[in-house]
Structure 1
Amino acid sequence: MAPSKAATSPPATGSQQETGDTAVAASSSAAAFEPCVWNDFFVTYTPPRSEEWMRERADDLKEGIRQMVEAAAGEAMSAAGTLTLVDTLERLGIDHHFSQEIDMALARVHSEELEHGGSSNIHIVSLRFRLLRQHGLWVSADAFDRFKDETGGFSASLAADPRGLLSLYNAAHLAAPCEEALDEAIAFSREHLEAMKGELGSPLAEQVSRALEIPLPRFPKRLETMRYIAEYEEEDEAHKGSMILELARLDFNLVRSLHLKELKDLSLWWRHTYNTMKLSYARDRLVENYFWTCGVFHEAKYSRARMMFAKAVGLLSTMDDTYDVHATLEDCCKLNEAIQRWDESAVAVLPEYLHVFYITLLASFREFEDCLEEKEKYRMSYATKVIKSVSEYFLEEAKWSREKYAPSFKEHLQVSVMSSVFPTMAVVLLLGAGDDVATEEAFEWAVRVPDVVSAGAEITRYLNDIAAYKAGKNKGDAASSVECYAREHGVAGEDAVAAIAGLAERAWRRINGARMGAARAVLPAAQLVVNLARTMEVMYLGGRDAYTSGADLKDLVAALFLEPVPV
C-alpha cells in the first residue's frame, strides 16, 4: 500500500497552511498523487437489472453439477476426469458452490496413484500436483521424474506438447523451499513456451501469455474466471451447451451485480468520508481498493467482509499517506499517540487537520462492531490491535525519513515488512467473514504473523520497492529495500532490483510450503491470505504501482465490472 515515491512536491494545500510551521518540513517531500480516474462513475452507474430467473436457473444447474462432482468423489470418474472437472470449476469461478464435494474428490485422488494413462501424461500429472498443493495437500516433486531423460533433464519430446508445458510451468510455481528440481521445470517450460508463443492458436496463446506474466497459482481467481469463461467455450465445441458453462455465466453476472451494488455504496461512503476529512494529500482510490478487495474474496457470501475490508483499507491508506508524505515528525508522534489510546478524547493531542480523520477512524470501527453478531464482537480486539501495531511501524519509518537515517537491509526489512500493511490486512480480511473461516483460532494464527503472512508481506514490500525504484526517488523519501540492498552489497540499482525480485520468488515458495503445512482449522483463512498475496502480483505487475497510479488499472476495472458476459 505504501506509495511509490515518484510524485513531485505540490504547493502547500489548505490543510498544510492550517498547521502553520509544523507542515513546512514535510511539504518538501509530499507526493502529488494523481486524481481519481473514476470520479463518481460508480455512484451514478445503473447496471442491467438482474433477473430472478437467472438465480432460479443457476440453482437448478447447481444440482446437476453437484451430482457430477459427487460422482467424482465416489470413484465413478477416473482421476484424470476428476482433476479436469475440478480445474474447470475453479477456473470458471463456481467451485465454491461445491467445496465439500471437491474436497472429497481431491482427497480420493490424493490417496490413489494415477492410472497408467494419466501417469504418463504431463498435463494430468502437473494438474494433479497443482490442484492438490493448492488445497494444502502434499505431493512430492518426484512425480515429474518420469518425464526426464537419461541425462537427468526434461525430455525434449515435451517441447511438442504446449498444453503439457503450460501445465508443468504452472504446477512448478507451487514449489516449496529447497525444491530446486522445480527450478529446472520452470526454466525448461518457460523457454519452450516463450519460443512457441507466436505459433499457438487461441485460446492457448492467451493462456500462455497470461501465465508468462503471472503464473496461474499467483493470478487472482476472479480475473482468471473473467478470461476463462470465453476461453472454455472456445476450447471445445462440446462446451458451448454445457451446464457448467451456463452456470459460470449466470454466476458471474449475479455476483457482478452484487459487486456493483457494493461499489456504489462504498463510493458514496468514500466520497463523503474523503471530502469530510479534507486531506487532499491522500490518495483517492476507492475503486482500485475495491478491485483489490474482489481479488481477495469475490463470492457472494463474503459481502460483509468485503465492505469492512474496503473501508478499512481506505482509512489505512489515508493513515499511511499522512505518515509518509505529509505530516512532520511531531505530527506523526501525536497521531501515533492518539491511535494507541484509541479513544475520542485523544483527538485533543492531534493537530487540527487530523481531527476529522481520527474521529472517522474510530467511528468506522464502531460501525464494523455494530455489523457483527454478539458472538463475533471479540474480533474487534484483534483488528484494533493490528491497527495500533502498524501505526508504530509507520512512525518508525517516518523517523527514518525525517532524520535521514539509513538502516541496514535486515533492519529495514524488520520494519518495512510490517509497514507494508499486509499483516494488518491479513487480520482485517477476517473481520466480516463467516464462522467457517473467521474462527478465534484463525485470528490468533493471523495476529502472530505466521509464515504465510510474513512471506506475503515480504512480497508486497519487495514489489512495492521495485516499483518505487523504477518510478524514481523523491527528496525526503526513506531508503527502500532496493537502496539498502544496493548500498550494503555494493551493487548497482538494477542488480539490486534483480536480487530483490529473487527474494520475492523465495517468499512465494515459503507461502507454498506454509500453506501445505497449515492446520486444517486455519487453512480457509490461509487461503484468503494467499489470495491477498496474489493481488499484489497484479497491482505491481511489470514494476508499476497500480494503486497509486489508478490509470494503470482502469482497463482491468472496466473489464471486471462493466463488460457484459452473455447468458
Structure 2
Amino acid sequence: MSIDKCVTGQNIQPIPSQESFRPNDINKEEFYIKHSQLIEEVRNLCKNGPFKTLDMVDALRKLCINHHFKEEITSILKMFHTQMPYVDDYTDAQTLCDVSNRFRILRQEGYIVSADVFERFKQKDGNFKQEMAQDVKGLVALYEASQLSIEAEHILEEAAEFSSHALKDENLPFLDQDETTMVRDTLEHSYQRTPSTFKVKKFINLFFGSAISDLAKLELAIAQHLHRTEVEEISKWWKDLGLADEFKLARNQPMHWYLWPMAGITDPCLSEPRIELTKVIALVYIIDDIFDVYGKLDELVILTEAVQRWDRNTLAQLPYHLRICIQALYDVTHEISDKIYKNHGFNPIEFLKQAWTSLCEAFLVEAKWFASGYMPTAEDYFKNGIISSGANVVIVHMFFLLGGGTSKESANTINDNQGISSCLGKILRLWDDLGSAKDEDQDGNDGSYVTYYMKENEGSSVESAREHVMEMINNTWKQLNKECLSPSPFSATFINACLNLARMIPLMYNYDENHTLPLLKDYISCMF
C-alpha cells in the first residue's frame, strides 16, 4: 500500500504557526508523552504488512523522522533489495513512477541498483517513449531518480535531459497552478541535492492527517527549540572568544556558521557535534578573512609555520591580533579533541592538526599568488581551491565528532578514503566562485575559477564559463553519489551528514539578482 493512501485528510491543510505546536513549560510533559506515543504508533505501522513499503521509508526520510526507525527501515530495505534478483519487479504493470521511485529510494539508502531498469521505457531507436512526455507524475519521479546517477550511466543522463525538457512549462500547458509549482520545485530543488530539512514543512502538509505527519510536526518543534538554544550557546561562545572585537572587518556571523551543522547533522540527539562543528567553521571563516584581508605576506608565512609546528612558543613573532587568533585555534582544537576522547575513547588531535595545517598552507599559496601578481592555471587554482574551501577541515572534525574513529586504525579511515571530502571541496569551491555577490564588508583578494577559465579560453563568455562550472558540479555530484554507495567504510550518519552539507552549498552561495539569498532566508524561517 502506498503511504500517500494512508493519509486520512483529503485536503491539504496549512501547518499551524510555530507557536501553536512548540513545546513550552505549560504543556511540556503532555507534548513529550504525545511524541512518544506517536513514535510507537509509527513503529507499529512499519511492522505492519501493508505499510512495510519503500513508500513508507521515503516518507519517514522526507519528514525527517527516520532516525527513530533505523531497524525498521533497514528491514524493509533489505526485504525489497533481496527480492529484486528473484522476482520480476519490472513487469508491464509497473509504471514509470513506480520504477523510478524504487530505484531512487534504494540508491539513496546506498544500495547498488542497475540503471538498466529504465531500458523498458525506451523505444527501438533508443529514445524514451514519447507517450511518457504526458505522464507528469512519472516524469517527476524519473527526474528525481536521474539525480542519483554515477559516472558513465548514460541512460540516467538521457533520463535527466528527457524529463527536464518534458517538464518545462511550455510542454505542459494543461497543469494547474499547484502542479506547475510542484514541477518547478522538483527541477530547481531535487530531493537528492536539497537539504533533507529544507522541504519538511511541505511534506508535513502533504501527509496531513496521518500519524507520521503528526509525529513530524512535533519533531520539527523539538528541532526548532534545539536550534534556538544551540545558536544562543554558539553566540555566547563567539562573544566570549573575543575575536570579533579584534577583527572588525572579518565576518561576524554565528547564525550563518551554525546553518552548516544544522543542515548536516539533523538528529536532535547530536547537539554537541553540531555545536562543536560550528566552532570549527567559525575558525575557518576567521582564518580565511585573515589571509584575505588582514595579514601581510611575511606575517602569514609565520602564521602558517605556527600552525605547522603547533607550538605556542612560535606565536611571539606574530602581531597581537594574529597571535590571539592562532591561540584560539589551539585552544578550541584541543577542547574538541578532549571531548571526542571522552565520548569515543580516541584522541584525534594529530588528525585535526594536520587538517588545519593543510588549510593554512593552501591559504598561503593563494596569498603568495596574489602578492606576486601570479596568475595560476585554472587547474592549479582549482586543485589548491579544493583544500582552501575548508571542506576537508570540516569533514575531518565531523568524522571524529560522530564517533568515526575509535582507534588509530579506524581513525585512518578518513585519510585513506578522501573521495567524499574531495567532492565536497570541489562543489563548495565551484559554487563559491559562481557566487554573484561578495560577502558583506569583504574587499579581499579571492580568485575565481571562472576568471582563470575565461583567461585560458579566449572568447569564452561569462555565461559559457558558468555553464562549464555547472557541468563540473554535476559531474562531481555523480562522483559523490558513487562514494555514498555500499559498501562504505563510513557510517550512514556520517554519509548523510556529508550529503546534507553538499546540499546546503547552493543555498549559501546562489545569490539572486538583488545579491540576496532568499532561499536561505526561507530555510531559516522554517527551522527556527
TM-score (norm 1): 0.81
Q: Which amino acid aligns with 2:419?
A: D
**Shift, 1:115, TM fit:** 4.4
**Shift, 1:48, TM fit:** 4.9
Secondary structure of the residue aligned to 1:382 is helix
Residues of 2 paired with 1:146 and 1:475: CA distance?
Answer: 55
Q: 1:204 to 1:303 in 2, by over 3 A?
A: farther
Equivalent residue runs for 1:316-327 within 5 Å? 316-327=284-295
| 1:558 matches 2:507 | no
Equivalent residue runs for 1:3-42 within 5 Å? none
Residues of 2 paired with 1:111 and 1:344: CA distance?
Answer: 57
Say if 2:433 and 2:450, in contact at 8 Å, map to a contact too.
yes
**Shift, 1:213, TM fit:** 1.4
Q: Which amino acid aligns with 1:92?
A: L
Residues of 2 paired with 1:308 and 1:194: CA distance?
Answer: 43
Equivalent residue runs for 1:56-71 within 5 Å? 56-71=33-48
**Shift, 1:500, TM fit:** 1.4
Secondary structure of the residue aligned to 1:429 is helix
Corresponding residue of 2:257: 289
- Aligned residues between the structures: 498
Deviations 1:395-420 (A, max 9, x none): 11111111111111221122111111
Equivalent residue runs for 1:172-211 within 5 Å? 172-195=146-169, 200-201=175-176, 204-211=179-186
Deviations 1:226-274 (A, max 9, x none): 33212332xxxxxx1x211111111111122111111111111123335
Residues of 2 paired with 1:135 and 1:126: CA distance?
Answer: 14
| 1:85 matches 2:52 | no
Q: 1:197 to 1:424 in 2, by over 3 A?
A: farther
Secondary structure of the residue aligned to 1:300 is coil
Residues of 2 paired with 1:263 and 1:469: CA distance?
Answer: 26
Residues of 2 paired with 1:211 and 1:426: CA distance?
Answer: 28
Corresponding residue of 2:15: none
**Shift, 1:365, TM fit:** 2.0
Residues of 2 paired with 1:411 and 1:344: CA distance?
Answer: 33
Corresponding residue of 1:514: 483
Q: 1:523 to 1:245 in 2, by over 3 A?
A: closer
Secondary structure of the residue aligned to 2:247 is coil
Residues of 2 paired with 1:544 and 1:429: CA distance?
Answer: 34
**Shift, 1:166, TM fit:** 0.9
Q: Which amino acid aligns with 2:155?
A: A
Secondary structure of the residue aligned to 1:56 is helix
Corresponding residue of 2:17: none
Within the candidate set 292, 307, 312, 2:280 is matched to 312
Query: Per chain length, whose mean CA-contact separation is higher, i.e. which structure has more relative contact order (CA < 8 Å, sep 6+)?
Result: 1
Equivalent residue runs for 1:192-271 within 5 Å? 192-195=166-169, 200-201=175-176, 204-233=179-208, 240=209, 242-271=210-239
| 1:416 matches 2:385 | yes
Corresponding residue of 2:29: 52
Q: 1:104 to 1:201 in 2, by over 3 A?
A: farther
Q: Which amino acid aligns with 1:52?
A: E
**Shift, 1:325, TM fit:** 2.2
| 1:157 matches 2:131 | yes
Corresponding residue of 1:397: 366
**Shift, 1:126, TM fit:** 0.9
Q: 1:366 to 1:527 in 2, by over 3 A?
A: same
| 1:477 matches 2:448 | no
Q: Which amino acid aligns with 1:461?
A: R
Secondary structure of the residue aligned to 1:262 is helix
Deviations 1:340-363 (A, max 9, x none): 222332220211221221222222
Q: Which amino acid aligns with 1:139?
A: V
Corresponding residue of 1:387: 356
**Shift, 1:94, TM fit:** 0.5
Corresponding residue of 2:400: 431
Q: Which runs of 5+ in 2 are unaligned?
A: 1-21
**Shift, 1:421, TM fit:** 0.8
Deviations 1:79-101 (A, max 9, x none): xx611111111101101111122
Q: Which amino acid aligns with 1:388?
A: T
Within the candidate set 99, 104, 107, 1:133 is matched to 107
Say if 1:338 and 1:350, in contact at 8 Å, map to a contact too.
no
**Shift, 1:181, TM fit:** 1.4
Residues of 2 paired with 1:495 and 1:115: CA distance?
Answer: 43
Corresponding residue of 2:269: 301
Q: Which runs of 5+ in 1 are unaligned?
A: 1-45, 234-239, 562-567
Q: 1:91 to 1:551 in 2, by over 3 A?
A: closer
Q: What value does the CA root-mean-square deviation take over the aligned residues?
A: 2.8
TM-score (norm 2): 0.87
Deviations 1:433-452 (A, max 9, x none): 2x4x5555664232346222
Q: Which moved more, 1:457-466 or 1:206-215?
A: 206-215
Residues of 2 paired with 1:116 and 1:449: CA distance?
Answer: 35
Secondary structure of the residue aligned to 2:329 is helix
Q: 1:550 to 1:214 in 2, by over 3 A?
A: closer
Say if 1:302 and 1:432, in contact at 8 Å, map to a contact too.
no
Corresponding residue of 2:462: 493
Deviations 1:73-129 (A, max 9, x none): xxx348xx6111111111011011111221221111112236467862111211111
Q: Which amino acid aligns with 1:106?
A: L
Secondary structure of the residue aligned to 1:430 is helix
Q: Which amino acid aligns with 2:68?
A: H
Q: 1:254 to 1:128 in 2, by over 3 A?
A: same
**Shift, 1:162, TM fit:** 1.5
| 1:407 matches 2:407 | no
Say if 1:220 and 1:535, in contact at 8 Å, map to a contact too.
yes
Secondary structure of the residue aligned to 1:174 is coil
Q: Which amino acid aligns with 1:83?
A: L
Residues of 2 paired with 1:290 and 1:94: CA distance?
Answer: 21
Q: 1:274 to 1:298 in 2, by over 3 A?
A: farther
Within the candidate set 306, 314, 324, 1:356 is matched to 324
Q: 1:99 to 1:505 in 2, by over 3 A?
A: same
| 1:99 matches 2:105 | no
Secondary structure of the residue aligned to 1:282 is coil
| 1:124 matches 2:93 | no
Residues of 1 paired with 2:523 and 2:124: CA distance?
Answer: 46
Q: 1:370 to 1:53 in 2, by over 3 A?
A: farther
| 1:170 matches 2:139 | no
Deviations 1:108-156 (A, max 9, x none): 1112236467862111211111111111111111111111223322222
**Shift, 1:306, TM fit:** 0.2
Q: Which amino acid aligns with 1:482?
A: V
Secondary structure of the residue aligned to 2:375 is coil
Residues of 1 paired with 2:338 and 2:297: CA distance?
Answer: 35
Q: Which amino acid aligns with 1:393?
A: A
